[in-house]
Amino acid sequence: MANGNTSHRFKLLLFLLTLHSSFAEIFFEERFEDGWKSRWVLSDWKRSEGKAGTFKHTAGKWSGDPDDKGLQTYNDAKHFAISAKIPELSNKDRTLVLQYSIRFEQDIECGGGYIKLLSGYVNQKKFGGDTPYSLMFGPDICGSQTKKLHLILSYQGQNYPIRKDLQCETDKLTHFYTFILRPDASYSILVDNRERDSGSMYTDWDILPPRKIKDVKAKKPADWDDREYIEDPNDVKPEGYDSIPAEIPDPKAKKPVEWDDEDDGLWKPPKIPNPAYKGPWKRKKIKNPNYKGKWKIPWIDNPEFEDDPDLYVLKPIKYVGIEVWQVKAGSVYDNILICDDPQYAKQIVDEFMANNREQEKRVKEGGRRGIINMEIGGIVEGRIPVIWMITMMNFEDCTKGRWQVRNYNTKMHL
């Protein structure tokens, strides 16, 4: 019954996705299915120096669906560059949505996982780190400290990074990164359909001078009363208040038996704090009827601000590219989307999460356990040769029953 309900929900989701896509304008969508090679060009950048890496078309080690393949960086300590030409598009007067998924299967140590949108003519065979771009978006990881989510926009030939410190995901599962840019220059950043941040290009990038600035010439008016509380002028000191001593003899004290007044002098009880003593008298505080609040420097129009109604408009986009460097390779790129409808992008993420996420977690947690068990079963049943290359296991967490595949270098003789 449960499987039937799941199948029904999946069919409904696909129907809604298909229906909604008829209203969305999809400029580019790549799921790396058959024919992807005809769309993508691997760059020769850094190849003559022996520093260029390649890509594998694979689902990776722990995909939730073995048929759902992407592009995986291959070769450690290399530069990776590949791009696809797309129909030229402009985001003027329309919302721009850039979305893609990436899974860091490897202990990347240090490297990028971002994506770029390129404008103008690009020689795709020479596409590299020095190729101008209009937008760069995605993770950049280095060690345990740097887990940055880049968002860089180009304006009049200069690159401007977002001023916020955004963090990316590093748990080795597939994550979707979505950037939405609207005609009012507002933006949203989503990770797995959850808003990570939002704001405006006017305030979160140092592209234009701010609309408002503080008036450095302003001074607090002389009659500005910023005292929230004042002494009550009607409060009167009680009669005899000043005669109350701070200390009094301890009424519980007793003269010691061995005390001799002739030899020791007149005995006096020790002093203790007087509970009736309240300290120097002060008038009580009351709300100040003339309180105007804390004075703040006022904001004024910035004379250097000149608005650009096309601030959000990127140069016409002609290519989408992956250009990163990684110490350890193994990142899987997939589900690249450029469209004008955030809802369509959301549905793609929903589809993945509904059908792949839990299976991906199970495969990741299980590692190759199922494969090894299957191979051992094959030996018992005589389906595998007598001399068999068995994987060395590293029992690094026996309490949880976990182990990792290391290398195929030990023979088992039966």
Residue ranges at the known binding site: 114, 116, 133, 140, 323
Integer Cα distance of 96 and 49 in angstroms:
37
Phi, psi (rounded to 5 degrees) for 4: -65, -40
The strand pairing partners of 74, in sequence order, are: 54
Residues in Cβ contact with 248 at an 8 Å cutoff, skipping those fewer than 6 apart: 271, 272, 274
Integer Cα distance of 159 and 207 in angstroms:
9
Q: Which two tokens stand for residue 411?
A: 């023979």
Integer Cα distance of 363 and 239 in angstroms:
84
Please enumerate, by residue number, every residue annotated as part of a binding site for an alpha-D-glucoside.
114, 116, 133, 140, 323
CA-CA-CA-CA torsion for 191, 196, 201, 207, nearest 10 degrees?
-90
What DSSP character marks residue 120? S
Closest CA to 149 of 129, 177, 125, 128: 177
Integer Cα distance of 260 and 266 in angstroms:
8
**CB-CB neighbours of 191 under 10 Å:** 19
Buried b / exposed e over 357-369, threshold 16 CB at 10 Å, is eeebeebbeeebe
Whether 180 contacts 95, CB under 8 Å: yes
Integer Cα distance of 122 and 133 in angstroms:
10
Q: Which two tokens stand for residue 9?
A: 């929900």
Q: Which two tokens stand for residue 184?
A: 């009012």
Whether 149 contacts 170, CB under 8 Å: no
Distances (CA, A) of 233 to 230, 240, 241, 280, 288: 9, 20, 18, 17, 11
Closest CA to 170 of 140, 214, 205: 140
Integer Cα distance of 127 and 133 in angstroms:
11
Integer Cα distance of 302 and 300 in angstroms:
6
